[in-house]
Amino acid sequence: MIDPVALLTHMLDIPSVSTQEAHLARFLVAQMSRLGFESFVDDAGNAVGIAGSGPDIVLLGHIDTVAGHVPVRVEGGRLYGRGAVDAKGPFAAFICAAARLAGSKALPGRLVLIGAVEEEAASSKGAKYAVTRYNPVACVIGEPSGWDRLTLGYKGRLLVDGIWKQPAAHSAGREPSAAERAVACWNAIVDHCTAYNDGRARLFDQLLPSLRAIRSWSDGLTEQAEWTVGVRLPPAISPDTLATTITGLAHGGMLQFHDLCPAYQAEKNTPLVRAFLKGIRVAGGHPGFVLKTGTSDMNVVGPVWQCPILAYGPGDSNLDHTPDEHVVIEEFLRAIDVLAIALRSLEEQDAGGGGARA
């Protein structure tokens, strides 16, 4: 057997900022191997554990984190540490639930646990590799939803870097400075989003812009300004469409778009959703649904796999990336119960056909 809190504590003790996950991946492979899983680090650097046989059910979490040290400790029934919520906690819950099912020989199929790399880096390297290797009949994404909530959708994303460069001029002149042109473009983007959002009450349906960074400087001969802007996209707007719109608002700047990712919303009436609703109710909860304004690996694998999919995991997503990141231990343990109940109740004939093409 495995001690869930000890496992997650060890995971939190191992730093795994995006692109630096190798140490944690090796640790997880060793732990899953000890539990009887077929375990390995794949060519992308993902930690993979496989148990059972039959149609693939993929449990896809991510083991990388953003930067910033949060001292690992237990206080007031809460376990603190970078990744406790986003998203080592959910992946630890996957491992513990799968181990419980394997021990009772109640596996619903071939469980494929994938601790993916570089989700936070926006490259989604681990998910993009996994999507070419498996063809599951169902997928659970490991992200914080709260133990009694299921996430069915994530907004899309567009990032753009802008540069404005021109000959230096006197500040009393009439020519707009490079900094003013950069700000004018940002303001035009905000105005476009505000106009689009008019009458759309749900955040999931809105364009949500954010100014990620901005700076300007001059060497006396040339002045330059640059910024990075991100926009979260609703399902109705594709990244390419918005990129075309923003290009028309450049105010003389040079724009470079990257990390374009469409929104994705999963079906609500599926055997997978019904299994998790049952799991939450049996564990004493009143289930609900969430649509997130962020982006996850669901956006990568959902459109390709076209199978029942949802995101689930313990933790409050409002604590993602914060200095106060922690998971309530009771919630973490209850999420493991929900996962075990839900996965045990999945019937292969309800999940559909398919299998691995690894």
Active-site residue set: 64, 119
Measure the CA–CA gap between 331 and 315, rounded to whole angstroms: 7
| CB neighbour class for 66 (10 Å; exposed up to 12, middle 13-18, buried from 19) | middle
In this structure, what token pair is assigned to residue 121?
């880096």
* Coil vs helix vs strand at 42: coil
Bridge-based pairing state of the strands 78-80 and 73-75: antiparallel
Residue 98's nearest CA partner among 63, 142, 135 is: 142
For the beta carbon of residue 328, count every other beta carbon within 10 angstroms.
18
Q: Kindly give, in sequence order, each residue whose CB lies less than 8 Å from that of residue 254, ignoring residues fewer than 6 positions away.
A: 162, 163, 164, 165
Closest to 163 measured CA to CA, from 79, 289, 250: 250
Helices (H), 14-87: 22-34
Residues 6+ apart with CB under 8 A from 276: 150, 287, 310, 312, 338, 342
